Amino acid sequence: MLRHFAILVAALLLALPAAFGQDETDRLSAYIDTQFLSTIGELPRLAWFLPDGTVVAQDTSPGIFLYTRSNKPQLAHLRDTLSQIEMAALRPKQHVACDLAPNGEQTVASIYTTLAHAAGNNPQVLSTSKVPPDLEGGFEQATLRGRAETEVWKEMQPASADQPRQSAVIQRKGAQFFYSVAALYSGPNKEVMRTGIFLHESNGKILAAHVEDIRGTWCDGCAMPTYADGIERIYVVENMFTAPAFAYPLLMLDASTIEGRSIKLVTFTPSREFSRHLFFEYVVGCF
Protein backbone atom coordinates (compact mmCIF):
# COMPACT_ATOMS: atom_id res chain seq x y z
CA MET A 1 0.00 0.00 0.00
CA LEU A 2 2.74 2.48 0.96
CA ARG A 3 4.68 1.63 -2.18
CA HIS A 4 1.66 2.29 -4.39
CA PHE A 5 1.01 5.57 -2.59
CA ALA A 6 4.62 6.70 -3.07
CA ILE A 7 4.46 5.93 -6.79
CA LEU A 8 1.22 7.88 -7.08
CA VAL A 9 2.71 10.87 -5.26
CA ALA A 10 5.79 10.86 -7.53
CA ALA A 11 3.58 10.76 -10.62
CA LEU A 12 1.51 13.68 -9.35
CA LEU A 13 4.64 15.69 -8.61
CA LEU A 14 5.79 15.30 -12.18
CA ALA A 15 2.37 16.16 -13.58
CA LEU A 16 1.62 19.31 -11.56
CA PRO A 17 2.92 22.57 -13.00
CA ALA A 18 4.65 25.12 -10.79
CA ALA A 19 1.70 27.47 -11.21
CA PHE A 20 -0.37 25.17 -8.99
CA GLY A 21 1.81 26.09 -5.97
CA GLN A 22 3.72 22.81 -5.83
CA ASP A 23 5.93 22.69 -2.76
CA GLU A 24 9.53 23.59 -3.58
CA THR A 25 10.96 20.69 -1.60
CA ASP A 26 8.85 18.15 -3.46
CA ARG A 27 9.70 19.76 -6.78
CA LEU A 28 13.42 19.52 -6.13
CA SER A 29 13.24 15.90 -4.99
CA ALA A 30 10.88 14.66 -7.72
CA TYR A 31 13.60 13.42 -10.09
CA ILE A 32 15.61 11.56 -7.44
CA ASP A 33 12.46 10.06 -5.94
CA THR A 34 11.11 8.94 -9.32
CA GLN A 35 14.37 7.24 -10.32
CA PHE A 36 14.48 5.22 -7.11
CA LEU A 37 10.81 4.32 -7.37
CA SER A 38 11.07 3.29 -11.01
CA THR A 39 14.08 1.02 -10.44
CA ILE A 40 13.54 -0.52 -6.99
CA GLY A 41 9.98 0.52 -6.06
CA GLU A 42 10.96 2.39 -2.90
CA LEU A 43 12.71 5.48 -1.59
CA PRO A 44 15.80 5.43 0.61
CA ARG A 45 15.11 5.72 4.33
CA LEU A 46 17.22 6.91 7.22
CA ALA A 47 19.02 4.30 9.32
CA TRP A 48 21.38 4.74 12.25
CA PHE A 49 24.56 3.07 13.45
CA LEU A 50 24.52 2.15 17.13
CA PRO A 51 27.68 2.13 19.30
CA ASP A 52 27.87 -1.68 19.19
CA GLY A 53 28.10 -1.64 15.36
CA THR A 54 24.53 -2.74 14.70
CA VAL A 55 22.08 -0.61 12.74
CA VAL A 56 18.53 0.46 13.52
CA ALA A 57 16.51 0.93 10.32
CA GLN A 58 12.95 1.76 9.32
CA ASP A 59 12.36 -1.68 7.84
CA THR A 60 11.44 -5.27 8.60
CA SER A 61 12.98 -6.88 5.50
CA PRO A 62 15.27 -9.90 6.08
CA GLY A 63 18.10 -7.95 4.45
CA ILE A 64 18.69 -4.31 3.60
CA PHE A 65 21.46 -2.35 1.91
CA LEU A 66 23.25 0.54 3.59
CA TYR A 67 24.53 3.56 1.66
CA THR A 68 27.71 4.62 3.44
CA ARG A 69 31.18 5.74 2.35
CA SER A 70 31.89 2.35 0.78
CA ASN A 71 32.15 1.66 -2.96
CA LYS A 72 29.02 -0.49 -2.89
CA PRO A 73 25.87 -0.46 -0.74
CA GLN A 74 26.59 -2.87 2.09
CA LEU A 75 24.30 -5.69 3.15
CA ALA A 76 22.78 -5.82 6.64
CA HIS A 77 20.86 -8.75 8.09
CA LEU A 78 17.75 -8.60 10.27
CA ARG A 79 18.37 -9.46 13.92
CA ASP A 80 15.30 -8.16 15.78
CA THR A 81 12.13 -6.26 14.98
CA LEU A 82 11.44 -3.65 17.65
CA SER A 83 8.11 -3.16 19.36
CA GLN A 84 6.74 0.34 19.88
CA ILE A 85 7.86 0.22 23.53
CA GLU A 86 11.36 -0.95 22.59
CA MET A 87 11.68 1.79 19.99
CA ALA A 88 10.55 4.44 22.47
CA ALA A 89 13.19 3.22 24.95
CA LEU A 90 15.92 3.23 22.30
CA ARG A 91 15.71 6.96 21.53
CA PRO A 92 16.74 8.43 24.90
CA LYS A 93 19.34 5.70 25.38
CA GLN A 94 21.08 5.84 21.98
CA HIS A 95 19.96 9.30 20.72
CA VAL A 96 18.93 8.02 17.28
CA ALA A 97 15.64 8.03 15.35
CA CYS A 98 14.88 11.18 17.32
CA ASP A 99 11.74 12.25 15.48
CA LEU A 100 10.67 8.91 14.07
CA ALA A 101 7.01 8.66 15.14
CA PRO A 102 7.55 11.09 18.05
CA ASN A 103 3.84 11.34 18.91
CA GLY A 104 3.44 7.70 19.83
CA GLU A 105 2.07 6.24 16.61
CA GLN A 106 3.23 2.77 15.57
CA THR A 107 6.85 2.73 14.41
CA VAL A 108 8.30 0.16 12.02
CA ALA A 109 11.95 -0.38 12.97
CA SER A 110 14.39 -3.24 13.32
CA ILE A 111 17.95 -3.96 14.41
CA TYR A 112 20.34 -5.22 11.73
CA THR A 113 23.82 -6.70 11.88
CA THR A 114 26.38 -5.68 9.26
CA LEU A 115 30.06 -5.59 8.44
CA ALA A 116 29.70 -1.92 7.51
CA HIS A 117 31.17 0.68 9.82
CA ALA A 118 30.10 4.15 10.86
CA ALA A 119 32.22 7.06 9.64
CA GLY A 120 32.32 10.67 10.75
CA ASN A 121 30.23 12.24 13.48
CA ASN A 122 26.80 11.53 11.99
CA PRO A 123 25.41 8.05 12.81
CA GLN A 124 22.89 8.36 9.96
CA VAL A 125 23.10 6.34 6.76
CA LEU A 126 20.52 5.57 4.11
CA SER A 127 18.99 2.16 3.50
CA THR A 128 16.85 0.34 0.94
CA SER A 129 15.76 -3.28 0.61
CA LYS A 130 16.98 -3.34 -3.02
CA VAL A 131 19.73 -1.51 -4.93
CA PRO A 132 19.39 0.28 -8.28
CA PRO A 133 21.07 -1.86 -10.96
CA ASP A 134 24.84 -1.34 -11.43
CA LEU A 135 25.07 1.31 -8.71
CA GLU A 136 28.68 2.10 -7.75
CA GLY A 137 30.16 4.47 -5.20
CA GLY A 138 33.45 6.05 -4.26
CA PHE A 139 35.17 9.38 -4.77
CA GLU A 140 38.36 11.30 -4.27
CA GLN A 141 38.78 14.98 -3.56
CA ALA A 142 41.14 17.01 -5.74
CA THR A 143 42.14 20.61 -6.44
CA LEU A 144 40.09 22.71 -8.84
CA ARG A 145 42.31 23.57 -11.82
CA GLY A 146 42.34 24.41 -15.52
CA ARG A 147 39.19 24.99 -17.52
CA ALA A 148 36.99 23.90 -14.63
CA GLU A 149 38.54 26.49 -12.32
CA THR A 150 38.15 29.29 -14.87
CA GLU A 151 34.51 28.48 -15.55
CA VAL A 152 33.58 28.01 -11.88
CA TRP A 153 34.83 31.43 -10.78
CA LYS A 154 33.20 33.05 -13.79
CA GLU A 155 29.89 31.59 -12.62
CA MET A 156 30.52 32.48 -8.96
CA GLN A 157 31.19 36.14 -9.87
CA PRO A 158 33.61 37.24 -7.14
CA ALA A 159 33.59 40.99 -6.40
CA SER A 160 37.33 41.20 -7.01
CA ALA A 161 40.29 39.05 -8.00
CA ASP A 162 41.43 38.81 -4.38
CA GLN A 163 38.08 37.97 -2.74
CA PRO A 164 38.58 34.98 -0.39
CA ARG A 165 37.41 31.72 -1.91
CA GLN A 166 37.50 27.95 -1.40
CA SER A 167 36.87 25.09 -3.79
CA ALA A 168 37.32 21.36 -4.34
CA VAL A 169 36.74 18.72 -7.02
CA ILE A 170 34.73 15.56 -6.26
CA GLN A 171 35.61 12.88 -8.79
CA ARG A 172 36.16 9.19 -9.41
CA LYS A 173 38.61 7.62 -11.81
CA GLY A 174 36.86 6.38 -14.92
CA ALA A 175 33.66 8.38 -14.31
CA GLN A 176 32.39 10.40 -17.26
CA PHE A 177 31.40 13.39 -15.13
CA PHE A 178 32.65 15.06 -11.97
CA TYR A 179 31.55 17.77 -9.55
CA SER A 180 33.20 20.82 -8.09
CA VAL A 181 32.05 22.80 -5.05
CA ALA A 182 32.95 26.40 -4.34
CA ALA A 183 32.38 29.20 -1.84
CA LEU A 184 33.03 32.95 -1.68
CA TYR A 185 33.63 34.79 1.59
CA SER A 186 33.35 38.43 2.63
CA GLY A 187 33.47 40.82 5.57
CA PRO A 188 35.96 41.23 8.42
CA ASN A 189 35.40 37.62 9.58
CA LYS A 190 35.51 36.21 6.04
CA GLU A 191 32.07 34.64 6.35
CA VAL A 192 30.56 32.65 3.50
CA MET A 193 28.33 34.72 1.22
CA ARG A 194 27.85 32.51 -1.86
CA THR A 195 28.11 28.76 -2.52
CA GLY A 196 27.98 26.70 -5.68
CA ILE A 197 27.95 23.13 -6.89
CA PHE A 198 28.94 22.44 -10.50
CA LEU A 199 28.59 19.45 -12.81
CA HIS A 200 31.48 19.07 -15.27
CA GLU A 201 32.35 17.01 -18.30
CA SER A 202 35.69 15.20 -18.11
CA ASN A 203 37.38 18.13 -19.92
CA GLY A 204 36.24 20.56 -17.21
CA LYS A 205 33.38 22.19 -19.10
CA ILE A 206 30.45 23.10 -16.85
CA LEU A 207 27.25 21.31 -17.83
CA ALA A 208 25.05 22.54 -14.97
CA ALA A 209 25.30 24.60 -11.80
CA HIS A 210 23.45 25.46 -8.62
CA VAL A 211 24.61 28.72 -7.02
CA GLU A 212 23.12 30.15 -3.82
CA ASP A 213 23.58 33.51 -2.11
CA ILE A 214 23.70 33.16 1.67
CA ARG A 215 21.43 35.68 3.37
CA GLY A 216 20.95 36.02 7.11
CA THR A 217 22.15 33.06 9.18
CA TRP A 218 23.61 29.74 8.07
CA CYS A 219 21.19 27.85 10.28
CA ASP A 220 19.21 28.57 13.44
CA GLY A 221 21.61 28.85 16.37
CA CYS A 222 24.83 28.02 14.50
CA ALA A 223 27.79 30.14 13.48
CA MET A 224 28.28 31.23 9.89
CA PRO A 225 31.04 29.19 8.16
CA THR A 226 34.21 31.19 7.58
CA TYR A 227 37.16 30.95 5.24
CA ALA A 228 39.21 29.39 8.05
CA ASP A 229 36.73 26.50 8.29
CA GLY A 230 37.48 25.37 4.73
CA ILE A 231 35.13 24.13 2.04
CA GLU A 232 34.56 20.93 4.05
CA ARG A 233 32.42 22.86 6.53
CA ILE A 234 30.00 23.72 3.73
CA TYR A 235 30.07 20.54 1.64
CA VAL A 236 30.61 17.39 3.72
CA VAL A 237 30.80 14.71 1.03
CA GLU A 238 29.97 11.18 2.15
CA ASN A 239 29.97 9.49 -1.25
CA MET A 240 29.35 9.82 -4.98
CA PHE A 241 27.20 7.17 -6.63
CA THR A 242 26.71 6.40 -10.31
CA ALA A 243 24.02 4.19 -11.83
CA PRO A 244 22.28 3.92 -15.22
CA ALA A 245 19.09 5.13 -13.53
CA PHE A 246 20.64 8.55 -12.98
CA ALA A 247 21.78 10.79 -15.81
CA TYR A 248 24.61 12.20 -13.70
CA PRO A 249 26.42 11.18 -10.49
CA LEU A 250 24.47 11.27 -7.25
CA LEU A 251 26.24 13.03 -4.39
CA MET A 252 25.55 12.00 -0.80
CA LEU A 253 26.25 14.89 1.60
CA ASP A 254 26.11 15.27 5.37
CA ALA A 255 23.98 18.41 5.76
CA SER A 256 23.62 18.32 9.55
CA THR A 257 23.12 21.43 11.69
CA ILE A 258 22.68 22.12 15.39
CA GLU A 259 18.94 21.53 15.08
CA GLY A 260 19.06 18.35 13.10
CA ARG A 261 21.10 15.56 11.57
CA SER A 262 20.63 15.30 7.86
CA ILE A 263 21.73 13.48 4.73
CA LYS A 264 21.20 15.14 1.37
CA LEU A 265 21.24 13.48 -2.05
CA VAL A 266 22.12 15.86 -4.89
CA THR A 267 22.25 15.47 -8.68
CA PHE A 268 21.00 17.02 -11.92
CA THR A 269 18.17 15.83 -14.14
CA PRO A 270 18.69 14.81 -17.79
CA SER A 271 17.68 18.38 -18.69
CA ARG A 272 20.35 19.56 -16.20
CA GLU A 273 18.04 20.96 -13.56
CA PHE A 274 19.18 20.78 -9.94
CA SER A 275 17.59 18.00 -7.86
CA ARG A 276 18.00 17.18 -4.19
CA HIS A 277 16.34 15.05 -1.52
CA LEU A 278 16.89 16.04 2.10
CA PHE A 279 16.56 13.37 4.80
CA PHE A 280 16.21 15.41 7.99
CA GLU A 281 16.00 14.34 11.63
CA TYR A 282 15.13 16.96 14.25
CA VAL A 283 17.33 16.25 17.29
CA VAL A 284 16.59 19.08 19.75
CA GLY A 285 15.64 17.44 23.04
CA CYS A 286 16.91 14.01 21.93
CA PHE A 287 20.14 14.20 23.95
- Residue % of the chain over a pLDDT of 70: 89
Average of per-residue pLDDT values in the chain: 89
Residue 270, SS3 per DSSP: coil
Predicted confidence (pLDDT) per residue in 141-187, tens digit: 999 999 999 999 999 999 999 999 999 999 999 999 999 999 999 99
Summarize the confidence of residues 124-134 as an average pLDDT.
97
Contact present, 209 and 155 (Cβ < 8 Å): yes
Q: Residue 56's closest CA among 121, 132, 108, 130?
A: 108
For residue 123, give the nearest of 285, 232, 238, 222 by alpha carbon.
238
- 19 — pLDDT class (breaks 50, 70, 90): very low
Kindly state the greatest CA–CA separation across the chain: 60
Distances in Å between the alpha carbon of 36 and those of 110, 156, 166, 245?
Answer: 22, 32, 33, 8
Contact in structure between 45 and 128 (CB atoms under 8 Å): yes
